[in-house]
Amino acid sequence: MAKITYHTHDNKTHTVDVQNGLTVMEGAIQNDIPGIDADCGGGMACATCHVYVNEEWLNKLSTKEDGEEDMLDMAFEPKNNSRLSCQLIVSDELDGLEVNIPSKQG
Amino acid sequence: MNKTDVLIIGAGPTGLFCAHQLGIIGLNCEIVDNLDKAGGQCIELYPDKPIYDIPAVPECTGEELTNNLLQQIKPFNIKFHLNERIEEIKKEENRWHVKSSGGVEFDVAAIVIAGGVGSFEPRKFPLKDCEKFEGNSLFYSIKDKSLFKDKTISIFGGGDSALDWAIELSNTSKVNLIHRRDGFSGVDASVQKVKELNDQGKLNLFTKYQIDSVTGYKNIESVKIKHDEGEIKEIKCDYVLGFFGLIMQLGPILDWGLNINKKTVQVNTENFETNINGIFAIGDICSYPGKLKLILSGFHEGALAARGCFKYAKPDEKLRFEFTTTSKAAQERLGIKK
């Protein structure tokens, strides 16, 4: 279990408990946190679960698999701290993770 | 006016298999899709990627699955309307009158929405200013490349479309290719070619830059691009092209009075009819308790929706359950000769 904080574009903060093994994307969907569309359902095929990860967390996350960076090319306003939240699998180590959801996904 | 029993919206695997099921029970249908080819997400998002969970097919690609489904519905000679998006539906007595973006009209007894996560639209630049130039000096696809002859073009993106057009247009235009990182998602040969053209001065490549602003009065006159480190460059150009792939948008379906929740249409699980009689929804676009977004679930939903359409298409007939293995009628419809 990890506490994940999602900052949405309307300056609201949502902190929720997400079970280990789920993805940061699923944590948002299950808790009705707006702004993560996840059109393809977690298949790394759409870039609509794009988030910005708080800088201090960047190096603590699993490295990007082949294809994630390619998909991020398609994301809305990608930055250096961009990740696809469907690729971030929750574990105890991610307790306290904070992500920012972009103003839109497409 | 195209008159048929059922209109299927969406030519992805679910829509294609539903067409098969309609054909088996003796109903005619036509299929509309916003893309220029059948296959939906299978073709647009992962044509070469393997799928491992199609029953009795241990492994196939999105393209193979699509080709097999097209093969399977071949006996029914189904009419496809590609590059068309359904805009309007209207109930007239017991029929539905439907109109597409290109002005194609349909008169049908029932509608099956198999629209996936919506219709595919090009993903656009994040800048609001880009909108006013869209269609005159800023494009997300190319219909007539002669427009760009002897002009200066700034192309944004790092996938195959961006690379292919950069290479192609560099023959007749002055091309700037701008991409947000050093790596590209396009095929290696194109990446090599672009780098060669850049070395030969036949194309200007800017990596680790993204669009910052566009300026111009009626047409674009220049773009500013911003480096990862913050440096800003201004590039004079006549046209801007953006190739950021496609995004799915629900579009006009939102206005049809359907019960929609989180971009999905609520259906019953008996025949996948929506809250509107005669309109069914199957595949990724439908939701019900326990919904799984799997292709195999879409096949099941399509089979039941097809049977649900029967009473609207042939109100005076009774549908009898039959197996294709033994049904003479079904085999005749499949064109099987014994």
- B165 or B118, which is more confident? B165
Which CATH number belongs to the domain containing residue B201 in this structure? 3.50.50.60
- Do both B133 and B267 map to the same domain? no
Q: Are B245 and B218 in contact (CB under 8 A)?
A: no
- Paired sense of beta strands B2-9 and B105-113, if any: parallel
pLDDT computed for residue B61 by the predictor? 94
Does B157 sit within 8 Å of A43, measured CB to CB?
Answer: no
How far from the centroid of its chain's Cα atoms is residue B228's Cα?
33
Q: Which of B45, B157, B183 sits opposite A69 (nearest CB)?
A: B183
3-state secondary structure B100-146: ECCCCEEEEEEEEECCCCCEEEECCCCCHHHHHHECCCEECCCCCHH
Alpha-carbon distance B67 to B82, whole Å? 16
Q: How many folded domains does chain A comprise? A: 1
Residue A54 lies in a domain: yes
Alpha-carbon distance B86 to B138, whole Å? 26
Instruction: Give the residue from chain B lying closest to A70, CA to CA.
Output: B185
- Do both B134 and B89 map to the same domain? no
How far from the centroid of its chain's Cα atoms is residue B290's Cα?
26
From chain A, the residues in CB contact with B244 under 8 A are: 73-74
Q: Which of A43, A78, A106 sits opposite B247 (nearest CB)?
A: A106
- Do both B114 and B162 map to the same domain? no
Q: Is the pLDDT of residue B260 over 90?
A: yes
Q: Is the pLDDT of residue B329 over 80?
A: yes
Reduced to 3 states (helix: H, G, I; strand: E, B; else coil), residue B186 is coil
Paired tokens of B145: 């490349």
Tens of pLDDT, residue by residue over B37-66, are 999 989 887 788 899 999 999 999 999 999
Residue B7 lies in a domain: yes
pLDDT computed for residue A65 by the predictor? 85
Q: Are B263 and B250 in contact (CB under 8 A)?
A: yes
Question: Who's near A35: CB < 8 A, 6+ residues apart?
Answer: A6, A8, A9, A28, A101, A102, A104, A105
Size of interface A-B (CB pairs under 8 A): 53
- Domain limits for position B300: 2-121+247-333
From chain A, the residues in CB contact with B158 under 8 A are: 70, 73
- Do both B107 and B135 map to the same domain? no
> What's the length of chain B?
338
- Do both B56 and B142 map to the same domain? no
Residue A105 lies in a domain: no
Distance from CA of B206 to the nearest CA of A (A): 15
- Do both B47 and B130 map to the same domain? no
Does B158 sit within 8 Å of A73, measured CB to CB?
Answer: yes
> CA geometry: angle at B169 spanning B102 and B126, to 5°?
60
- Do both B63 and B31 map to the same domain? yes
Q: Is the pLDDT of residue B316 over 90?
A: yes
pLDDT computed for residue A104 by the predictor? 85
Residue A12 lies in a domain: yes
pTM for the full predicted model: 0.80
What secondary structure letter does DSSP report for B272?
-
Alpha-carbon distance A84 to A102, whole Å? 12
- Do both B254 and B168 map to the same domain? no
What secondary structure letter does DSSP report for A23?
B
- Do both B313 and B327 map to the same domain? yes
Q: Are B184 and B163 in contact (CB under 8 A)?
A: yes
Residue B220 lies in a domain: yes
Percent of chain B with pLDDT over 90: 89
User: B205, B226, B244 — which closes off a domain?
Assistant: B244
Tens of pLDDT, residue by residue over B185-237, are 999 999 999 999 999 999 999 999 999 999 999 999 999 999 999 999 999 99
Residue B69 lies in a domain: yes
Alpha-carbon distance B103 to B173, whole Å? 35
Distance from CA of A95 to the nearest CA of B (A): 28
From chain A, the residues in CB contact with B249 under 8 A are: 106
Burial of B41 (0-12, 13-18, 19+ CB in 10 A): buried
Tens of pLDDT, residue by residue over B14-36, are 999 999 999 999 999 999 999 99
From chain A, the residues in CB contact with B250 under 8 A are: none
- Do both B216 and B293 map to the same domain? no
User: B244, B269, B297 — which closes off a domain?
Assistant: B244
From chain A, the residues in CB contact with B159 under 8 A are: 70, 73-74
Distance from CA of B122 to the nearest CA of A (A): 9
Spatial strand order in the sheet of B209-216: B209-216, B220-227, B232-236
Q: Examine the predicted complex and report whether its ipTM is higher than 0.85.
A: no
**Taking all residues of chain B, what is their mean pLDDT, rounded to a whole number?**
95
Amino acid present at A70: D
Which CATH number belongs to the domain containing residue A91 in this structure? 3.10.20.30
Instruction: Give the residue from chain B lying closest to A81, CA to CA.
Output: B228
Instruction: Give the residue from chain B lying closest to A40, CA to CA.
Output: B117
pLDDT computed for residue B29 by the predictor? 98
CB of B179 within 8 Å of any CB in chain A?
yes
Residue B235 lies in a domain: yes
Paired tokens of B66: 């699509």
Alpha-carbon distance B197 to B176, whole Å? 11
Q: What is the mean pLDDT of each run of 10 residues along chain A (106 residues)?
A: 94 96 96 90 88 93 89 90 96 96 87
Q: Phi, psi at residue B297, to the nearest 5°?
A: -65, -40
From chain B, the residues in CB contact with A69 under 8 A are: 181, 183, 185
- Domain limits for position A71: 2-100
Alpha-carbon distance B275 to A43, whole Å? 30
- Do both B116 and B21 map to the same domain? yes
Residue B338 lies in a domain: no
- Do both B252 and B112 map to the same domain? yes
Q: How many folded domains does chain B comprise? A: 2
Residue B168 lies in a domain: yes
pLDDT computed for residue B213 by the predictor? 96
User: B191, B221, B244 — which closes off a domain?
Assistant: B244
